[in-house]
Structure 1
Amino acid sequence: MTAEDQGRWTDMDDSFFVDSALVLSYIENQFTYTVKDIPIYEKRYSEETSEQADVTEDSEYINNPDQVVYLAFAEQQAVGRMVLKKNWNRYALIEMIQVDKQFRRYGIGRQLMEQAKRWAQERGLPGIMLETQNINVQACRFYERCGFVIGGFDQYVYKGIPAVSGEVAVYWYLLFE
């Protein structure tokens, strides 16, 4: 992302319908899950964060070798965004990956993920990590298709936020061995 691109992504529709959730287990040194149906509702991450704060934070990523923001465009419209940085544990951390609702299932998320792999490998990092919630089943399945495995989960991290207190954080890793 360049300085001129700042804020071009703020009109993206990051909403999705939630109709199921992962039920996570740790059995014999391996994380597994089943999927359970739940009452359907719509979720949008942009309601949980301040877009202005995100734009301000994006400026900190410009010309910084340890962090970057990638935008995907369809013609002149930003339809995908990924925020990536070198984390304290030397993994590339995907802080945010989002594709506009109207442009999902066209390979944009996969292209952003491939760019994350290139970025991490160019820096000699051991892999990529990210966190999502157990109610974002479509995203979890996408990460799994991209080769990620569950490295852990935390059932308490969202307990202090009433609107999402029932969600479970799921930590995904792609290891470059």
Structure 2
Amino acid sequence: MIVRKGALKDLNACVLIDASYVTDYVWQIRTEERPYEEMVIAFQTVRLPRSVRAKPPRDTDYLVRDWERDECFLVAEEEGEIRGYLDMIVQPWHGTGWIKDMAVLKEYRRQGIGTDLLGAAFRWAREHDLRAIMQETQTKNYPAICFCRKHGFVFCGFNDRYYTNQDIAVFFVHGV
């Protein structure tokens, strides 16, 4: 498996990767307002009554724009086949890399490709003097939440108006 900088010719293969996922759990948010302007917010892992197939709320049209930024657009390739990609943009004023998207072909998931892509993104971030990497996902994308936590990312916030489809975004951060 080779992880390398993505080329223009790789974008079509990246667009064709089905980023949908199946989940049996979600992170359910609970908010409680208390006296004296105090608010309690908690996330709880809740088992769903049945497995749900879902798709991330993003269109892949942005991939070309992100690739043109010439920042951190990585692909995982083996035997001439693009098996996954990671798209990270830089927010220089924060010294942060923001993973906008990461996807692996279904038949190659849970084989370390995502881990390899993430490792390459961390190397890139260190080479470019970034201080942290952020990753976002939806509360219903429990596989992605587990991936983040497994790799040392720490929950750092949420936004219940982030996605146009009304999904709640949760944010994770990892120091570089």
The alignment's TM-score, normalised by the length of structure 1, stands at 0.80
Matches within 5 A, 1:113-132: 113-132=118-137
CA RMSD of superposed structures (Å): 2.5
Counterpart secondary structure, 1:10: helix
| Structure 2 residue ranges without an equivalent (≥5) | 1-5, 32-40
Letter in 2 for 1:126: R
Counterpart secondary structure, 1:102: helix
Counterpart CA distance in 2 for 1:156 and 1:48 is 14
| Structure 1 residue ranges without an equivalent (≥5) | none
Letter in 1 for 2:146: R
Identity of aligned residues (%): 26
- How many pairs align? 162
Letter in 2 for 1:172: F
Counterpart secondary structure, 2:173: strand
The alignment's TM-score, normalised by the length of structure 2, stands at 0.81
Matches within 5 A, 1:94-109: 94-109=99-114
Letter in 1 for 2:169: A
CA 1:113 to 1:12, structure 2 compared with 1: closer, same or farther past 3 Å? same
Q: Which runs of 4+ in 1 moved over 6 A?
A: none
Letter in 2 for 1:70: L
Residues 7 and 55, structure 1, Cα contact 8 Å, conserved in 2: no
| Higher strand content, 1 or 2 | 2
Aligned residue for 2:55?
44
* TM-superposition CA deviations, 1:12-34 (whole Å, max 9, x none): 222211332113479xxxx8642
Matches within 5 A, 1:146-165: 146-158=151-163, 161=164, 164-165=165-166
Q: Report the alpha carbon displacement of residue 59 of structure 1 after superposing the two structures with TM.
A: 4.1
